[in-house]
Amino acid sequence: MKGCILDRESFDRNDINMDPLLNQLEDWSCFPASRHDQANERIAGCNIVITNKVRLDRETIFGSDALQLVLLAATGTDNVDLDACREHGVVVCNARQYSRPAVVQHTFALMLCLATSLVTYRDDVRRGAWSDSEVFCLLDHPIHELEGRTLGIIGLGDLGSRVATIGRAFGMSVIVAARPGSPPDADRLALEDFLVAADVVSLHCPLTSGTRDMLSTEQFRLMKKDAILINTARGGIVDPLALAVALRNGQIGGAGIDVLDPEPPPLDHPLLADNIPNLIVTPHNAWGSQESRQRLVYQIAGNLAAWCEGKPVNRVN
């Protein structure tokens, strides 16, 4: 059996133990990173392919006669054509729940930074504003408490549920949006009602045809003027131009964004402009703690071992 890792540097920076995975096969081809147009050549003759974000489309899958197993170094499956894999007899397995502590931690890091204007105050201190102050403290930017505010969750899965739990520990009340295409009920609000009520909107849903650009101009108009948007899910869920306009116009209070579309983003991406107020953008690394990445490798190794035994786990197709 021959294996290929298409983008090893996306999860291994020589700071985790790869042996549980690599020791299962004698023949590995490992690439630090790969472009989509390199995938065909690099997986040729390989039975097992590991990818984090390298796209495997129908042409790539059907162009690899030896391919039997795709192991996703991620939970999301939007970069792999699952239908094509099914038709070609290729098993696809993802990784689950490995990054929960890191993503939840990052979600609240963004939330707290925005609620307290922490980054803005840090910049004020660096430029000497505190040293020039006539009083002992600076209070030039809004500082809000999370306690007593309403945390809105879109996507109440593993991550969303944990964020809700931590939110309640901060003294927040929690509301949940109805799933796209599903009617609201006693536990889940229609999106319009949800956006009107939430002080913080945190996204934890997958990117699908039903969630792409789910938050755009009309949705931002519904939100409170001091509302905060947190996106650690997928960039395509939020219309970037609409968000940039909403922040510039003061329609919402701030946004913490860990994901963009595409990734890596071009320098002229709408949300990378340097004149957007109350915006924090981090480079899709909410998940990337050393502990999370080690758990990821252990889980990929377990997925491979289970498949080799004829009992695949975490199968998504």
Q: Which residues are catalytic?
A: 234, 263, 284
Based on the number of CB atoms within 10 Å of its own CB, is 11 exposed (0-12), middle (13-18) or buried (19 or more)? buried
Closest to 230 in 3D by CA, of 203, 205, 250: 203
3-state secondary structure 155-202: CCCHHHHHHHHHHHHCCCEEEEECCCCCCCCCCCECHHHHHHHCCEEE
In sign, the C-alpha dihedral spanning 206, 100, 95, 309 is: negative
